[in-house]
Amino acid sequence: MTKTFKTLDDFLGTHFIYTYDNGWEYEWYAKNDHTVDYRIHGGMVAGRWVTDQKADIVMLTEGIYKISWTEPTGTDVALDFMPNEKKLHGTIFFPKWVEEHPEITVTYQNEHIDLMEQSREKYATYPKLVVPEFANITYMGDAGQNNEDVISEAPYKEMPNDIRNGKYFDENYHRVNK
């Protein structure tokens, strides 16, 4: 994708893969002006995936976007995307329980909201593990808004490479081999 990002509409509907400087790899989709979907391919919660996460999505200035949300786990996330530079800065605020029991969250969250909320109440939430990192964007695709094919299955080992190499989506940004 060679688009130049200027407006919020340019950003919405974009699908990203990025790798933080600490090596954690994430896949993230600006589904619409208030919802994001994502999969985690590397790091302490690799294997986790979420759809229809409500988020605050704003343009700070031309081509720079801030997205923030709180998950049912109690994890807070703030991302600053600079897609024209293929960079972003993210800060993840993990509750103590996620740091100590990350395996509980490594699932399709949407089917386990009760477990996330119970764990948040059962285990310690403080002190939070704060992970501020820069990341390089390694993939950008124009998926269009509200495309349910973008994040629709659990992550697997070669998924990011399959996406980057054009083996996962067809020309209309729909999954191949559903």
Write out the catalytic residue numbers: 26, 71
Dist CA 1 CA 23 (whole Å): 23
Q: What does the block give as tokens for 16? A: 């990203």
Which one-letter amino acid corresponds to residue 174? H
Which one-letter amino acid corresponds to residue 64? I
Q: Which residues contact 163 (CB under 8 A, 6 or more apart)?
A: 17, 27, 139, 141, 169
Dist CA 111 CA 58 (whole Å): 28
Would you put residue 173 in left (φ > 0), alpha (ψ -120 to 50) or beta?
left
Dist CA 140 CA 35 (whole Å): 18
Which one-letter amino acid corresponds to residue 167? K
- In DSSP terms, which residues pair with 175 in a beta bridge? 169
